[in-house]
Structure 1
Amino acid sequence: MADFGIIHISFLPAEGMALFPFILIKKKTYKTDALLIRHERIHLRQQAEMAVIFFYLFYLLNYIFNLLLYRNHRQAYLNIIFEKEAYTMEGEVDYLRMRRPFAWIKFIF
């Protein structure tokens, strides 16, 4: 697995994060964590198809809505539609190759 575009940042508040066009990871060993890297690559695809800025805006709005709904950070985060797609599909090795644009829409409900 190529690690081009993967940046190690030890003080990252999460294990990994997609910040277009890079994947940020908390520990160097995560470069070989196929599941984590695939999860973040799904986010990169989501960001690209939403012209990046709209992804971040919609992500934030979805999180705030969920926080009001669930009143719990973890539940709000896990129910962000982009996270639902990434967590559900991160185990599928060929997912990004066969993924249709805007596939996250099916995770709204």
Structure 2
Amino acid sequence: MIIQWKWLFEKVLTRFAGIMLFGFLFVKDLEDKELINHEKIHVRQFLEISLVAGLVFGTVAWFISLWFLLGIPVAFYIWYGIEFLIRLIKYRDREKSYKKISFEHEAYDKEDDFTYLQNRRFWRFWKYI
């Protein structure tokens, strides 16, 4: 689902034009096709990480506690944050660290290829790690 929310990007996320949150796309401009494609790539990445996290956290939840199921929807963001911190230590530059996160690197690299998601292989972001 793509939601245009100009206020969010004009008042809160002023440095961004779009964001993917839990599979939902929030964009400033519905006409920006490259941005929407970029965010759709993040949706695919989110779903892939969630699938694997579901297998891992689901197994742990079965044996220990159902509370572990809460880890499934946030696994993507945990990975994203850890990878950002590792790259920040390496590069000591926030912008470069952000662009080098494997999820962002893949999305920026392929945002202008509008057929990419049709042919993309599972866990393709791994190539960018």
- Please state which band the TM-score falls in when normalised by the shorter chain: 0.7 to 0.9
Aligned alpha-carbon RMSD (Å): 1.3
**Bigger proportion of residues as helix:** 2
Tell me the CA shift for residue 53 of structure 1.
2.0
Identify if the C-alpha distance between structure 1 residues 71 and 35 changes in structure 2 by more than 3 Å, giving closer, same or farther: same
Matched, 1:58 2:79: yes
Cα pair distance change 1:48/1:12, threshold 3 Å: farther
SS in 1 for 2:30: helix
2:53 corresponds in structure 1 to none
Between the two proteins, the alignment pairs up a number of residues equal to 102
Question: Which residues in structure 2 correspond to 1:1-109 (within 5 Å)?
Answer: 4-8=1-5, 9-10=8-9, 11-13=11-13, 14-25=16-27, 27=28, 30-51=29-50, 52-108=73-129
Deviation beyond 3 Å, 4+ runs, structure 1: none
Q: Choose 4-13 or 92-101, whichever is displaced more.
A: 4-13
* 2:82 partner SS: helix
Distance in 2 separating the partners of 1:41 and 1:12 = 22
Give 1:54 shift. Answer: 1.7
Q: List gaps (5 residues or longer) in structure 1.
A: none
